[in-house]
Amino acid sequence: MGATLVVAGAVSAPAALASQNGDGAAAGAGASGEQQDFADAAHESKVPESVLMAVAYQESRWDVHQGHNTSGGYGPMSLTDVTPSMVADGGAGAVGRSDLASLAADPSLHTLTAAAKLLSVPAQDVRTDRRSNIRAAAALLASYEKQLKGGTPADPAQWYAAVARYSGSSDQSAASGFADRVFATMKAGARRTTAQGQQLRLAPQPSLRGDTGGLSALHLKRTSSAGTDCPVRLDCRSAPAATTNYQVANRPADGMTIDYIVIHDTETSYQTAIDGFQNPATGDAANYVMRSSDGAVTQSVADKDIAFQAGNYWLNMHSVGIEHEGYAAHGATWYTQVQYENTAELVKYLAAKYHVKLDREHIIGHDNVPGPVDSLVSGMHWDPGPYWDWNQFMDLLGAPTDQGGHGVGPVGTAVTIAPDFASDQQTVEVCPADDPTGATTACTDRTAPSSTLYVRTAPSATAPLVSDPYVHADGSPGTDEINDWSATVSAGQQFVVAGRQGEWTAVWYGGQKVWFDNPGGVNTVRARGVRILTTSGGTAAPLYGEAYPDASEYPAGLAPDTAPAFGRYAFPAGQAYVATAQPAHRDDFYPANGTTRPTETYIPGAGTVYTIQYDHRLALVDSSAVTVG
């Protein structure tokens, strides 16, 4: 699922939250502004400062939220205030229209108003003023602890159950999972510069152990995980997709290896996505859906089966898809910390089970999936978009994008794209067509943290953006519209250095020599242990979006699938591209249909292909046409 190519951006923080400490002082004027807010609020409500800061880190990584995520979370503490209109308009609500009346009765969706009452301050202040937001959240946490323990103990270990309640989840796995992550943050400590420029530090407490004894008082429910394949710590349930939206298989026992994990966003609410997968008319489904508010997971298609999730059948054969409740045009406000952490746990589990390599050639966005044939290239989806924080996510997987330190090697060596997410402020144009929530009413330029860099035709900020022969068939330059993926590189991608001039670095990209701003190598690290490919025999190599066997390799009675070479993409002689993995065999799959094919048929081909980082997307090249450098 996700957004199709038409073009858009991110939502910036409200002015008050982004620029003020709550007392009117500019946030940038003193690095301790938000740190002091936590200290003051903790002292006022007698909440251990480490508990308050760790809760905020897990809710927002200390960034400002604006009410656009599924729980309607505001401020660094993500206090919630979901209204029926937010759900009816396709915005923040995680429940369906028929459940609008339940909003008024669900306290987990109105923690902001409850917290404001505890402090006797206007709810609007808690929405828009950072200091008030933190103070109100501290008061709410203290009220939970008093109800559970009768007081506010100084020992952080005693606050485990109150933290679990703060999660807002009534599910035991989800609530205790949130508390576990908060306490893990306190044990390990944390340090970060926020998107608003605040420098915060939480000192580690390595011997801390949370007291889980109070959990029973919360009367949390246990959700059955029957029919799912998830890590035990995740709140995981089953809601099988319609049989038209996936293909029954037996991966990997039938020969099809699972080599990729694809990250998507839904462009709908969590429940709407699940409902869509159960509707035979939609024709698509992902293996998993991840909720924004608490990281709950629904498995819609078993891993063994082929989910129709990436718009490329051959890649579907070899991948598992994970949808994330969110809207790409709203950026980081929708992708919550619990989504990142739970998705990382799920991806590590799947990668270990199916031997998927943890790099950005195999852990990819839907926006990295190649179009299968010429006619489909320009319309491939662009989710999860530039505001999915690939740096943070790959770090959670234990495969950081910036491993080895920043810099650029000589021409002919490889680099990994690794801009700092918070400081990589990119300006994009967002239009109403790119925002299904209806919040965007006119095309607007917005600047926000990003995982992408623009690539240009020359080493100059005024040079045109690179033109893609499919997206810009008339030869016009690329654009800064959010869904125009064709002139961007994404964090974790790897390319071969083609030149350097001043602060600019050139790489081979999409058959062209392209340039991006890279002063002092701040946006790249030297890539280690990669395969660099060049063409064999001094001639261009054709590229493909799918890799099926030769027609002669199909059993009698089966019509061969075909994947012709791209007409407008090629691997030119003299250029070089990165392929970090061994080549894969061409193959195809025909399911049993109960009549002419009583059993499934897997067709392995003799030929092999490399997957290369070609442009923003992957491409396939026949291994016989290239040489490994």
The predicted model gives 353-376 an average pLDDT of 97
Given a cut of 70, is residue 608 above it in pLDDT?
A: yes
How large is the greatest C-alpha to C-alpha distance in the chain, in angstroms? 79
Given a cut of 70, is residue 84 above it in pLDDT?
A: no
**Dist CA 74 CA 137 (whole Å):** 11
**Dist CA 288 CA 332 (whole Å):** 20
DSSP letter for 376, please: G
- Locate tokens 């903790």: which residue? 42
Determine the pLDDT at residue 43: 98
Given a cut of 60, is residue 421 above it in pLDDT?
A: yes
**Dist CA 330 CA 317 (whole Å):** 31
| Chain mean pLDDT for the chain | 88
Residue type, 511: G
DSSP 555-584: PTT-PPP--PPPSS-EE-TT--EEE-S--E
- Look at the alpha carbons of 520, 522, 523, 527 in this order and tell me if their dihedral is positive or negative: positive
The predicted model gives 41-49 an average pLDDT of 98
- Look at the alpha carbons of 251, 252, 254, 255 in this order and tell me if their dihedral is positive or negative: positive
What percentage of the chain's residues is helix, strand, coil (to nearest 5)?
30, 20, 50
Determine the pLDDT at residue 221: 86
Determine the pLDDT at residue 475: 95
**pLDDT top residue among 29 and 442:** 442
Assign 90 a pLDDT band (cuts: 50, 70, 90).
very low
**pLDDT top residue among 168 and 85:** 168
Determine the pLDDT at residue 182: 95
> 108-117, 269-278, 510-519 — which one is most confidently predicted on average?
510-519
Query: pLDDT (tens digit, 9 = 90+) per residue, 447-498?
Result: 888 999 999 999 999 999 999 999 999 999 999 999 999 999 999 999 999 9
The predicted model gives 618-629 an average pLDDT of 97
